[in-house]
Structure 1
Amino acid sequence: MTTSIVRATCPHDCPDTCALLVTVKDGVATEVRGDPDHPTTAGVLCTKVSRYTERTYHKDRLLYPMKRIGRKGEGKFERISWDEALDTIAARLKEIAARNPQAILPYSYCGTMGLVQGESMAARFFHKLGASLLDRTICSAAGGVGYKYSIGARIGTDVEQFQNAKLILIWGGNPIASNLHFWMRAQEAKRRGAKLIAIDPYRSLTAEKCHQHIAPLPGTDAALALGMMHVLIAENLLDEDYIARHTLGFDQLRERVREWTPQRTAQTCGITVEEVEQLAREYGASARRGEPVAIRVNYGVQRTHGGGMAVRNIACLPALVGAWRHAAGGVQLSTSDAFPKNNQALQRPDLLQGPSRTINMIEIGNALLHEASPEFGPKIEALVVYNSNPVAVAPESPKVAQGFAREDLFTVVLEHFQTDTADHADILLPATTQLEHVDIHTTYGHMYMMANNAAIAPLGEAKPNTEVFRLLAARMGFDDPCFKESDDDIAAQAFNKDDVRAIHFDWDSLKQKGWQKVNMPEAPFADGGFPTPSGKCEFYCERMKAAGLDPLPAYVPPHESLASSPELGKDYPLAMISPPARNFLNSTFVNVESLRNTEGEPHLDIHPLDAAHRGIEDGNPVRIFNARGSFVAKARVTEKARQGLVVGLSIWWKKLTADGKNANEVTSQRTTDMGNGPTFYDVLVQVEKV
Structure 2
Amino acid sequence: MQESMPRISRRSFVKTTGALGALAAAGGAATATGSLFGVGAAHADADAPDEVVWGHCAINCPSRCPLKFHVKDDEIVWVEADTSSDAAFEDRQARACLRGRSYRRWMNSPDRLSYPLKRVGARGEGKFERISWEEAIDTIAGELTRVIESYGNDAVYIDYATGVEGVTTGQPFQRLLNLCGGYLDYYGSYSAAQLAYMQATVFGASGGGSALKTAEDAELVLVFGSSPIETRQGGLHTHYDYVALREKTKGKIIVIDPRFNDSLSGHSDQWLPINPGTDAALVAAIAYELIAADRIDVDFLHTYCSGFDEESMPEAARGKHLSYKDYVLGEGYDKVEKSPEWAAPITGIDADAIRALAAEIAEASPLFVTQGWGPQRRSNGEWNFWSICLLPLLVGQAGKPGTNNGNRESRFIIPLTDFPSGENPVEASISCFLFTDAIDHGTEMTKTKDGVRGADRLSNNIKFLINYAGNCLTNQHSDINKAHDILADESKCEFILAVDTVMCDSAKYADILLPDLFRSEQVSLASTGSNTAYIVTAQPCTSPKFERKTAYEMCEMLAEKLGVRDEFTEGKTQAEWIEELYEADREEDPELPSYAELVEMGVYKRERPGNIALDKFVADPVENALATPSGKIEIFSQKIAKAMEEWEFAEDETVYPVPAYVPEWHGVETTTDEFPLALSGFHYRGRVHSSWGSIELLKEANPQELWINPVDAESRGIKQGDRVSVKNEFGETQLLAKVTPRIVPGTVAMAQGAWHDADMQGDRIDRGGCINTLTTQRPSPLAKGNPQHSNICNVSKA
Q: TM-score range by the shorter chain?
A: 0.7 to 0.9
Letter in 1 for 2:464: A
Q: Does 1:393 align with 2:476?
A: yes
Q: Does 1:585 align with 2:636?
A: no
Structure 1 residues 515 and 122, CA, compared in 2 at 3 Å: closer, same or farther? farther
Counterpart of 2:701 in structure 1 is 598
Letter in 2 for 1:532: A
**Partner Cα separation in structure 2 for residue 645 and residue 245 of structure 1:** 41
Q: What's the secondary structure of 2:776's corresponding residue?
A: coil
2:781 to 670, 673, 682: 673
* 1:520-549 superposed Cα distances (whole Å, 9 cap, x missing partner): 873343342475345543334433334436
Counterpart of 1:655 in structure 2 is 757
Counterpart of 1:522 in structure 2 is 611
Counterpart of 2:563 in structure 1 is 477
- What TM-score results when the alignment is normalised by the length of structure 2? 0.77
Q: Does 1:380 align with 2:450?
A: no
Give 1:147-296 correspondences, 5 Å limit: 147-152=199-204, 153-180=206-233, 181-192=237-248, 193-207=250-264, 210-237=268-295, 242-243=300-301, 245-251=303-309, 252-258=323-329, 259-287=337-365, 291=366, 293-296=367-370
Q: Does 1:10 align with 2:57?
A: yes
Query: How far apart are residue 562 of structure 1 and its match?
Result: 4.7
Counterpart of 2:166 in structure 1 is 114
**Partner Cα separation in structure 1 for residue 780 and residue 702 of structure 2:** 30
- What TM-score results when the alignment is normalised by the length of structure 1? 0.88
Counterpart of 2:178 in structure 1 is 127
Q: Does 1:69 align with 2:88?
A: no
Query: How far apart are residue 425 of structure 1 and its match?
Result: 1.9
Query: How far apart are residue 587 of structure 1 and its match?
Result: 0.6
Check conservation: 2:214, 2:612, Cα contact below 8 A. no
**Partner Cα separation in structure 2 for residue 499 and residue 236 of structure 1:** 53
Which segments of 5 or more consecutive residues in structure 2 lack a partner in the other structure?
1-47, 310-322, 330-336, 446-456, 619-623, 645-654, 759-764
Check conservation: 1:197, 1:211, Cα contact below 8 A. yes
Q: Does 1:545 align with 2:598?
A: no
Check conservation: 2:179, 2:568, Cα contact below 8 A. no
Letter in 1 for 2:700: N
Counterpart of 1:573 in structure 2 is 676
Q: CA RMSD in A?
A: 3.5
Counterpart of 1:532 in structure 2 is 627
* 1:2-46 superposed Cα distances (whole Å, 9 cap, x missing partner): 655555443222343334444555654432313555699633322
Q: What's the secondary structure of 1:648's corresponding residue?
A: strand
Structure 1 residues 469 and 417, CA, compared in 2 at 3 Å: closer, same or farther? same
Query: How far apart are residue 682 of structure 1 and its match?
Result: 0.8
Check conservation: 1:620, 1:689, Cα contact below 8 A. yes
Counterpart of 2:333 in structure 1 is none
Structure 1 residues 388 and 547, CA, compared in 2 at 3 Å: closer, same or farther? same
Please identify the structure whose Cα radius of gyration is greater.
2
Counterpart of 1:33 in structure 2 is 81
Query: How far apart are residue 479 of structure 1 and its match?
Result: 5.1
**Partner Cα separation in structure 2 for residue 627 and residue 113 of structure 1:** 35
Counterpart of 2:719 in structure 1 is 617
Query: How far apart are residue 376 of structure 1 and its match?
Result: 5.9
Check conservation: 1:158, 1:327, Cα contact below 8 A. no
Structure 1 residues 399 and 364, CA, compared in 2 at 3 Å: closer, same or farther? farther
Q: What's the secondary structure of 2:281's corresponding residue?
A: helix
Aligned identity (percent) is: 25
**Partner Cα separation in structure 1 for residue 609 and residue 53 of structure 2:** 28
Letter in 1 for 2:61: C
1:461 to 536, 547, 550: 547
Letter in 1 for 2:222: L
Query: How far apart are residue 161 of structure 1 and its match?
Result: 3.8
Counterpart of 2:504 in structure 1 is 419
**Partner Cα separation in structure 2 for residue 495 and residue 547 of structure 1:** 42
**Partner Cα separation in structure 1 for residue 229 and residue 402 of structure 2:** 23
Structure 1 residues 163 and 304, CA, compared in 2 at 3 Å: closer, same or farther? same
Letter in 2 for 1:79: R
**Partner Cα separation in structure 2 for residue 114 and residue 13 of structure 1:** 10
Structure 1 residues 135 and 190, CA, compared in 2 at 3 Å: closer, same or farther? closer
**Partner Cα separation in structure 1 for residue 142 and residue 775 of structure 2:** 37
* 1:54-110 superposed Cα distances (whole Å, 9 cap, x missing partner): 222223221222222333333232322222211111111111211013333221321
Letter in 2 for 1:487: Q
Query: How far apart are residue 307 of structure 1 and its match?
Result: 0.6
Check conservation: 2:734, 2:768, Cα contact below 8 A. no
Structure 1 residues 275 and 125, CA, compared in 2 at 3 Å: closer, same or farther? farther
Q: What's the secondary structure of 1:346's corresponding residue?
A: coil
Query: How far apart are residue 178 of structure 1 and its match?
Result: 0.9
Query: How far apart are residue 552 of structure 1 and its match?
Result: 2.7
Letter in 2 for 1:201: P
Whose relative contact order is higher, 1 or 2, with alpha carbons under 8 Å and at least 6 apart?
1
Structure 1 residues 90 and 226, CA, compared in 2 at 3 Å: closer, same or farther? same
Query: How far apart are residue 51 of structure 1 and its match?
Result: 1.7
Structure 1 residues 157 and 257, CA, compared in 2 at 3 Å: closer, same or farther? same
**Partner Cα separation in structure 1 for residue 778 and residue 136 of structure 2:** 36
**Partner Cα separation in structure 1 for residue 705 and residue 465 of structure 2:** 33
**Partner Cα separation in structure 2 for residue 628 and residue 475 of structure 1:** 43
Query: How far apart are residue 681 of structure 1 and its match?
Result: 1.0
Which segments of 5 or more consecutive residues in structure 1 lack a partner in the other structure?
none
Check conservation: 1:196, 1:212, Cα contact below 8 A. yes
**Partner Cα separation in structure 1 for residue 211 and residue 592 of structure 2:** 20
* 1:614-671 superposed Cα distances (whole Å, 9 cap, x missing partner): 3333333322111111112222332222111111223211239973662211100111
Q: What's the secondary structure of 1:213's corresponding residue?
A: strand
Counterpart of 1:687 in structure 2 is 795
Q: What's the secondary structure of 1:655's corresponding residue?
A: coil
* 1:362-392 superposed Cα distances (whole Å, 9 cap, x missing partner): 2344444448769764443332111211221
Counterpart of 2:396 in structure 1 is 321
Q: What's the secondary structure of 1:191's corresponding residue?
A: helix
Query: How far apart are residue 148 of structure 1 and its match?
Result: 2.9
Query: How far apart are residue 269 of structure 1 and its match?
Result: 1.4
* 1:221-249 superposed Cα distances (whole Å, 9 cap, x missing partner): 12222333333444354556654544444
Counterpart of 2:3 in structure 1 is none
**Partner Cα separation in structure 1 for residue 663 and residue 368 of structure 2:** 26
Q: What's the secondary structure of 1:105's corresponding residue?
A: strand
Q: What's the secondary structure of 1:301's corresponding residue?
A: coil
Q: What's the secondary structure of 2:667's corresponding residue?
A: coil
Structure 1 residues 552 and 203, CA, compared in 2 at 3 Å: closer, same or farther? same
Structure 1 residues 240 and 6, CA, compared in 2 at 3 Å: closer, same or farther? farther
Letter in 1 for 2:574: D
Check conservation: 2:713, 2:719, Cα contact below 8 A. yes
Say which is worse superposed, 240-249 or 676-685, in terms of deviation: 240-249
Q: Does 1:630 align with 2:703?
A: no
Letter in 2 for 1:220: T
What is the aligned length? 677
Structure 1 residues 17 and 39, CA, compared in 2 at 3 Å: closer, same or farther? farther
Say which is worse superposed, 459-468 or 232-241, in terms of deviation: 232-241
Query: How far apart are residue 323 of structure 1 and its match?
Result: 4.1
Letter in 1 for 2:696: E
Counterpart of 2:381 in structure 1 is 307
**Partner Cα separation in structure 2 for residue 503 and residue 535 of structure 1:** 35
Query: How far apart are residue 53 of structure 1 and its match?
Result: 2.3
Counterpart of 1:487 in structure 2 is 574
Q: What's the secondary structure of 1:197's corresponding residue?
A: strand
